Chain A
Amino acid sequence: MTDGWRELYDSEYPRLLRALLAIGGDPDAAEDAAQEAFVKAHEQGLATLERPGAWLLVVGTRELLRQRRRRRIETERWAERGSFETSAFDAVSDRADLLAALRQLPERQRTVVVARYYYGLSYDDIARHFEIKSGTVGATLHQAIEKLRQIQVAGRLARGAMR
């Protein structure tokens, strides 16, 4: 009855929502963009989507960034965030802080990091889908990671989060 849409939704939606949350940091916007991506996919037709997962990520990200630009005008910037410094290595809060650190990267870097490490897309795929020059994906990724590392405790937090 659902012609595969339910299956696609069930398998891809949770991952997409999480990816968009990681990129944008706003649950409302992530949900909105994820839903919009599925609606767009539906309008497009399942048969035409070669790799629906990657396709949804690309469209969802675009949607997210479009909304964010709109939202930024209307809401003033949030007050200063708390420090990322934590005393104990608790996995849960370390992960949250890692995500917070991710959000300090420029949008493009964030997107590439999520596409590579969370979605496991190849450099070529990332280049093609996100319209980045194929030679620069690796460099962008490395810059992003380097920056995360620089955000003081990120490296430490990473190991904490892996436990």
Chain B
Amino acid sequence: MSANEPRDDEILGRALSRAIETAPVTETPYERSRMAVPPVKHGVSLWRVAALAACIVIAAALGSTLLERPAIDEPVGVQPSARPSLAPTTPQPTASAMPRATTAPTAVDHQVIYFAREGLPPIAARVDVLPVGSGISDLKTLPTAAERIGARMHALIGAGQAPIGTFNAMPPSSAVQSVTGVQIEGDLARIDLVVNAGNWQVSGAARSTAVLQQLVYTATEEPGIRRVLITENGGKPTRIDQLVIDKPLSREDVFGYAFRGAVGIDQAINGDGGAGESAAYSGGGSTTLVEVGSLVRFTSEPRDANGRPAKLPRFTVWLDPGDDTQPDGAKYTLTVLLRYGAGQPVGGGGSPQIHDQTPLRATRSDGGGTQLRLALDDARPWRAFTEANGTRLVVEIGGDPRAVSDRIAVYLPSVGATVATELRVRGAARVFEANVSWRLKDRSQKVLTSGQFTASLGTSAAWGTFERVVALPPGATGNVTLELYEASARDGSEVGLVSIPVTVTAR
């Protein structure tokens, strides 16, 4: 050992310390930590197996960096009561509530308006008084749907500061001045706005889209309403900058995904973890429900009688239109059904759990824990797959629209991520023979490097997963785009393309 070594050790140690200290991380603020927003354990049952002494955990932050987006302060975790409130005078006691101290709401809260997010679907925020200055603190006191819609629209027009992580794209009240008429026809709401000289004072496609998202989501928040036709100044067609609105719009028309989630039992994803036809249900298992940004990720891991991970039975997952006039209903219902062999215990309906965190409004479990229904705000794309050798079922809803197509969903790198030496690519795919093609393009669309890999599963209803590390070629610096797609088996054309912009720090 030379005399210099201790000193050299110290230098290296200090360098390491600096490196650790300056490594890019996405920090979860206290308000969203699991202490402030406790995972609900034992007691409030999600997947109704509590009676059978199962461990039920709603974990909050499993994927807080699944979609790491340092610029946008995204909600992490299922936080039924920690939603941003718009009321300037109302403190949010629940934001710092201690574990297990929250009182569970029993019905979905429709007293909300929507705010926009950069590149993501809008999210709801509760309004305590609406419209501003009206003194109406409980929307339910308004007798008709038209009045309630009108109140929400007024609140939207007069909304000020947007909650953290969102923005308000709505034009100033000098432009869009008021709501003059709301009419209901079946599931359609017709809304006429007073727009000063027909000028929305909004420019740019992104801003216009954000305005439209806020309008459509807010207008269709009313139970039973699925579409809205927005007109201006006495029934004239509306134009928000270049965006012409001449027909009724649903949430799926504006949510930003290129595809909507498959609807109907005939579009179900059927899969099998390999437990066999006569698989018995032990009643045990753990369930997690995680909400990160625009992604809801639900996992179920059954256990055998000895508490060991058990293979999943056959399962079916499908999306149906829902009944949002029910206290625990929403526009759509995603059902996850574990199909154990005949003669397995079937329990009664569990009590609903209200989440009210866009897009997940409520959950309800039935069948002794073999069926779970998720009440959702819209029909955004969803997918299902198994992990861990058939012992874990994963159901995902949504994700960043830029990273999701009908057959490929990418979690890493997240949109706009900064990387230094390599690209960790992680996601799910449902492509022919599991072949996923990728390429990295520079700013001028020149392909820097490309390749192919296989997902864990292909050519099946259930999705496969993938995780790869792509070494960055020397020329890859600054703004690059990672593209993933399926090369069509029929004609080689590219389908299901997702393009994820990434910044490579100078090396």
Contact = CB atoms under 8 A, between A and B. Distances in A.
A27 B61 contact: no
Q: 6 tightest A-B contacts by CB? A: A82-B471, A117-B13, A95-B19, A158-B15, A27-B65, A96-B420
B278 interface: no
Given A9-B35, A39-B35, A159-B15, A142 B62 contact: no
Given A86-B507, A117-B14, A117-B17, A21 B23 contact: yes
Interface in A72-120: 73-76, 78-82, 86-88, 90, 92-100, 102, 113-114, 116-118
B66 interface: yes
The range of chain B's interface size is: 35 or more
Contacts of A158: 11-12, 15-16
Contacts of B38: 39
A148 B12 CA distance: 9
Given A93-B420, A145-B12, A158-B15, 14 more contacts: A6-B30, A31-B26, A35-B61, A39-B38, A80-B469, A80-B471, A87-B507, A92-B505, A96-B421, A98-B15, A99-B19, A117-B13, A155-B12, A158-B16
A53 B269 CA distance: 46
A118 B61 contact: no
A21 B35 contact: no
B35 A161 contact: no
A142 B129 CA distance: 64
A10 B27 CA distance: 10
Contact of A36 (B18, B34, B424): B34
Nearest to A14: B27
Interface of A: 1-3, 5-6, 9-10, 13-14, 17-19, 21-22, 27-28, 30-32, 35-36, 38-39, 42, 73-76, 78-82, 86-88, 90, 92-100, 102, 113-114, 116-118, 141-142, 145, 148-149, 154-155, 157-159, 161-162
B23 A95 contact: yes
Interface in B2-28: 8-9, 11-23, 25-28
Interface of B: 8-9, 11-23, 25-28, 30, 33-35, 38-39, 59-66, 68, 93, 96, 98-99, 387-389, 392, 420-422, 424, 467-472, 505-507
Given A142-B9, A149-B12, A81 B422 contact: yes
Most chain B C-beta atoms within 10 Å of own C-beta, residue among A35, A97, A145: A35
A17 B16 contact: no
Contact of A90 (B21, B35, B506): B506
A90 B16 CA distance: 15
A116 B13 contact: yes
Most chain B C-beta atoms within 10 Å of own C-beta, residue among A27, A30, A36, A154: A27
A95 B68 contact: no
A93 B507 contact: yes
A5 B99 CA distance: 12
A28 B64 contact: yes
Given A74-B389, A93-B421, A13 B467 contact: no
A30 B470 CA distance: 22
Contact of B16 (A13, A38, A102, A159): A102
